[in-house]
Structure 1
Amino acid sequence: MNEGWQPARLTVLSGPSGVGKGTVVAELRQLVPHVWVSVSCTTRSPRPGEIDGVSYRFVDRAEFERMATAGELLEHAEFAGNRYGTPRGAVVDHLAEGVPTLLEIELEGARQVRAAMPEARFVFLAPPSARELAERLSGRGTESAADMARRLDRAEVEMAAASEFDHVVVNHDVTDAAAAVAALVIGPSEDPPG
């Protein structure tokens, strides 16, 4: 083993819907191209511009249930009437190959991963304010008013869970937030005392 070598770490990034997780992860990929970002499965329909196998792996409910029952998902949850989950095999394989791995998932999934892999680093991406989060969500224009209300209610619950995470990064600026998350993904395994 090389001096200074550290095993690959699993980093879990979570935060409320609309906080900019996807945008921060896209920027992080530019900063740290060797980080592997897991592609989640979902039962929801693709949004404009999303590509199967890149944005998500789009599956029907029956296939999702088969995967969950077979233990093929590291975590899974239902959100806004759709199922989401992380394929276990690809995560385990990348970590075994020494590749830093990032999961971008919702709170319920992060809690499941914490129970299954407590050695992972858990990062919460927070908005600058609740008002700004509401503006970001409404600016998407991809959801009905009822779905928007559910997301805002859920965001309030998720914001209250920030203290469950090892680190909180506030997304004032995408570039700065991505740099902060990148430092946590590839930084030392041991957190400094304090």
Structure 2
Amino acid sequence: MRRGIALVLSAPSGAGKTTLIRRLRAEFPDFGYSVSCTTRAPREGEVDGRDYTFLSRDEFGRRRARGAFAEWAEVHGNLYGTPLAPVQEMLANGRDALFDIDVQGAAQLRLNLDAATFIFILPPSMAELERRLRLRGQDDDAAIERRLANARRELREAAWYDALVVNDDLDTAYDRLRAAYVAATLAPARNAHLVDGLLATS
């Protein structure tokens, strides 16, 4: 059985990562999903263990101290983390896991997961990225400037990823993302059973 891989996608806000992920999930619906932990209060309609595992800050800290998270971050005063054990079990059982995560979280995953492929989605230009952010109509000028400044910081980290995909034309970008994912599933390190099986029959 092939060992599963963690497919880790990062991109600046406005690069189109969410749209690409939606297409990838539609074609490959068997991607595994790990329920994240958070210290924030549940929102209306959220169910503990389904949407998030809701923890006190003390309990989150205890789990973090014993290395229970594949990655964690503090966002707007709340802690979020991906439990490591379920992801490792998923991969060991041959199921792939998809992560939509920022560069800081991706760097932690690189340290904690040995079966991971990292893909960075690039905008075609900074001018186009700004145009897309303004077109969304969700942010004022100050927020857009912050997003652009964050994007420049994130782009400086893109060099250590395994693949770069420019999202200029959506269909072309998806073809390249799909190709990078499929290629990762074919890597010899994740398919040693194929050669071993052949040798065992000779």
1:104-148 alpha-carbon deviations (Å, 9 max, x no partner): 110011111112224411111111111111222233333454443
Query: Residue 189 of structure 1 corresponds to which residue in structure 2?
Result: 187
Which residue type is aligned with residue 127 of structure 2?
R
Which residue type is aligned with residue 138 of structure 1?
R
The normalised TM-score by structure 2 is 0.72
Gaps of 5+ in 2: 190-202
Gaps of 5+ in 1: none
* Percent of matched pairs sharing the same residue: 38
Aligned counterpart in structure 2 of residue 85 of structure 1, from 71, 81, 85: 81
Change (3 A) 1:35 1:176: farther
Q: How far apart, in 2, do the equivalents of 1:97 and 1:117 lie? A: 15
The normalised TM-score by structure 1 is 0.75
Query: Residue 21 of structure 2 corresponds to which residue in structure 1?
Result: 25
Query: Residue 131 of structure 2 corresponds to which residue in structure 1?
Result: 135
Higher helix share: 2
Change (3 A) 1:99 1:38: same
Aligned counterpart in structure 2 of residue 126 of structure 1, from 111, 122, 137: 122
CA contact (8 A) 1:42 1:85 kept: yes
1:47-82 alpha-carbon deviations (Å, 9 max, x no partner): xxxx879xx648588375565445432112245666
Query: Residue 154 of structure 2 corresponds to which residue in structure 1?
Result: 158
CA contact (8 A) 2:123 2:129 kept: yes
Aligned counterpart in structure 1 of residue 166 of structure 2, from 158, 167, 170: 170
Q: How far apart, in 2, do the equivalents of 1:133 and 1:145 lie? A: 14
Change (3 A) 1:45 1:139: farther
How far does residue 43 in structure 1 lie from its aligned partner after superposition? 6.7
Which residue type is aligned with residue 189 of structure 1?
A
SS at match of 2:94: coil
Q: How far apart, in 2, do the equivalents of 1:140 and 1:44 lie? A: 27
How many residues are aligned here?
Answer: 185
